[in-house]
Chains A and B, each alone.
Chain A
Amino acid sequence: MAVAREMIVNLYRNLIRESKKWDSYNYRMYALRKIRHEFRENKLLQDAEKIKESYNYGLTNLDMIRRQVTIGNLYSTRQLVIETTPTQKAL
């Protein structure tokens, strides 16, 4: 069965949504950055086999993120200084 476009878009949305729940600033930012990078890299994939493979890789990672977000958030800390201070862009 080929992977439909909607399934991929759904996977992307789920990955981003779950990653945003991460309490740890560094893990959250890495996950968001990496997910976007991976999807951009594989945007032009044509081979149905490869698409299927990447899709399954995304699904296993979605499960992993869900578990790790839960574990990480059980032991969350206060935020980093960078999250509490206004953005540094103006500097």
Chain B
Amino acid sequence: MFRLWKRLVPLARDHHVNEVISSPKRHYAAVKEFESPISDEYKKGPAEGRPLYLDAQATTPLDPRVLDQMMPYMTTYYGNPHSRTHMYGWETEAAVERGRKQVADLIGADPKEIIFTSGATECNNISVKGVARFYKEKKKHVVTTQTEHKCVLDSCRALQAEGFNVTYLPVKPNGLIDIDQLEAALRPDTSLVSIMTVNNEIGVQQPIAEIGALCRRKKVFFHTDAAQAVGKIPINVNAMNIDLMSISGHKLYGPKGIGALYVRRRPRVRVEALQSGGGQERGMRSGTVPAPLVVGLGAACELAQKEMAYDHKYIEDLSQHLIQKIMGSLTNVVRNGDEVAWYPGCVNLSFAFVEGESLLMALKDVALSSGSACTSASLEPSYVLRAIGAAEDLAHSSIRFGIGRFTTREEVDYTAHNIIRHVIRLREMSPLWEMVQEGIDIKSIKWTQH
């Protein structure tokens, strides 16, 4: 049935595509699609086709060039990189070390300072808990911000339960921290400052170099969660005085399930391992290193380094295009986050008088999110937006647009067009919007009777 539909609509793509690929295979793929484990009719998506992907902060597609490097290690070279007695081990070990060097080169580090983990969450856990616990005899204080990722905040909560003091720094309305406030928060017994480089919800870019310089001067270790930043903006751990840094594979077009932690060697940063075992990765993260994933992460880092300027310019063009198009056609749209210190791949807009979730439901042909993927199940407004002081109603009406390497201009146009259409439609239904059009100040209304 579906194939028939495909023929009816005029194809925008080249016609010979279908001739080249043998039809039995295509048929098989088409059948497979309908055997997908999704049983919920709604979740099967729009009948017209698969939704567009505009959620690059949640995850990015694997770059085919990365997969191409990984394939041999998923099929032919299956050795354990820690096996020292035979060729199978040696060849994967060499590949892992090459991957380590590629990661290190991207951030200006030494390969020995890179620890492979399962992802940025594990990196953040090792950094926050590991450093705090290792230095707990003398230092019992950790500083972080209110807009951190959940895994940093939750690690800090765990530390509090163990008797540590944690300062959660507020952020300014533009999402950035106040460097003076940070300096005031540092105490003689502060062991660690953990501040993310690029925020995953509003895309603001913290002044990492300044924070790093401050921490170095005060002799406090500085950890930054750079999952959203590495490979997208230039980062140098030495120039920025970063002591620990979390990297995630699947945010820079690499495979999922791999991350890397940078741990400085000079001056030496020591962490208490969370996991006991064979002592791999300098004893900080025991467990067999997944060679194919490391090869993928390395390839993704090398690519990111090569393509950074091109990608950044392209993504910036697209996001400016998106913002201008939406802002030009709609009123009462608020941009969340700083407009200058900002990574352009993450655009967070609040559409006043429209419920974010209903907009997402209406836009079922575009994969968007109202905030981070971890909290997308709850209807609570994002804590990041509340931290930047967004009003409750605006925090409820925010949408995050994630633009990446593989997003096309046509996709951005399509999204902007549909956003505008649905916002106008939803506002026309809204009694609040009607009241605003009549000149009634919504804030002055007393809603409850008692």
By a beta-carbon cutoff of 8 Å, the part of chain A in contact with chain B is 20-21, 23, 25-30, 33-34, 37, 61, 64-65, 67-68, 71-88, 91
Number of chain B interface residues as a range: 35 or more
Give the shortest distance, in Å, between B38 (CB) and chain A (any CB): 13
Q: Are A76 and B26 in contact (CB under 8 A)?
A: yes
Q: Are B406 and A79 in contact (CB under 8 A)?
A: no
Residue with the greatest number of chain B CB neighbours at <10 A, chosen from A67, A80, A86, A91: A80
A86 and B10 contact, Cβ closer than 8 Å, known pairs A64-B64, A77-B33, A91-B417: yes
Q: Are A26 and B65 in contact (CB under 8 A)?
A: no
**Residue from the list B16, B20, B68, B411 in contact with A82, Cβ < 8 A:** B411
A84 and B33 contact, Cβ closer than 8 Å, known pairs A20-B14, A21-B20: no
| Complex-state Cα separation, A77 to B424, whole angstroms | 32
Q: Are B410 and A82 in contact (CB under 8 A)?
A: yes
Give the shortest distance, in Å, between B317 (CB) and chain A (any CB): 12
Q: Which residue of the partner chain A has the closest CB to B417?
A: A91
How would residues 394 to 436 of chain B score, 1 for a CB under 8 Å from any chain A CB and 0 otherwise? 0000000000011110110110010000000000000000000
Q: Are A80 and B21 in contact (CB under 8 A)?
A: no
A81 and B29 contact, Cβ closer than 8 Å, known pairs A21-B21, A67-B68, A87-B12: no
Q: Are A83 and B64 in contact (CB under 8 A)?
A: no
| Complex-state Cα separation, A81 to B6, whole angstroms | 11
| Complex-state Cα separation, A85 to B51, whole angstroms | 12
| Complex-state Cα separation, A37 to B405, whole angstroms | 14
Q: Which residue of the partner chain A has the closest CB to B34?
A: A78
Q: Choose the segment among B42-50, B163-171, B240-248, B376-384 that binds chain A (4+ C-beta atoms closer than 8 Å).
A: B42-50
Does B30 have its Cβ within 8 Å of any Cβ on chain A? Answer: yes
Give the shortest distance, in Å, between A62 (CB) and chain B (any CB): 12
Q: Are A81 and B407 in contact (CB under 8 A)?
A: no
B10 proximity list for chain A (CB < 8 A):
86
B365 proximity list for chain A (CB < 8 A):
81
Q: Are B25 and A73 in contact (CB under 8 A)?
A: yes
Q: Are B405 and A30 in contact (CB under 8 A)?
A: yes
Residue with the greatest number of chain A CB neighbours at <10 A, chosen from B16, B53, B68: B68
Q: Are A83 and B51 in contact (CB under 8 A)?
A: no
By a beta-carbon cutoff of 8 Å, the part of chain B in contact with chain A is 2, 5-6, 9-14, 16-17, 20-21, 25-26, 29-30, 32-33, 46, 48-53, 61, 64-65, 67-68, 71, 310, 365, 405-408, 410-411, 413-414, 417
| Complex-state Cα separation, A33 to B314, whole angstroms | 11
Give the shortest distance, in Å, between B212 (CB) and chain A (any CB): 34
A78 and B30 contact, Cβ closer than 8 Å, known pairs A26-B406, A84-B9: yes
Q: Are A74 and B25 in contact (CB under 8 A)?
A: yes
A83 and B53 contact, Cβ closer than 8 Å, known pairs A77-B33, A78-B2: no
| Complex-state Cα separation, A34 to B11, whole angstroms | 22
Q: Which residue of the partner chain B has the closest CB to A83?
A: B12
| Complex-state Cα separation, A20 to B18, whole angstroms | 11
A74 proximity list for chain B (CB < 8 A):
25, 29
B49 proximity list for chain A (CB < 8 A):
78-85
Give the shortest distance, in Å, between B412 (CB) and chain A (any CB): 10
Q: Are B407 and A88 in contact (CB under 8 A)?
A: no
Give the shortest distance, in Å, between A53 (CB) and chain B (any CB): 14
B29 proximity list for chain A (CB < 8 A):
73-77
Q: Are A23 and B17 in contact (CB under 8 A)?
A: yes
**Residue from the list B20, B68, B406, B417 in contact with A88, Cβ < 8 A:** B417
B65 proximity list for chain A (CB < 8 A):
61, 64, 68
Q: Are B64 and A80 in contact (CB under 8 A)?
A: no
Query: Can you sample 16 A-B contacts with CB below 8 Å?
Result: A20-B17, A21-B21, A27-B61, A27-B64, A64-B68, A65-B64, A76-B26, A80-B49, A82-B414, A83-B11, A84-B48, A85-B48, A85-B414, A87-B12, A88-B413, A88-B417
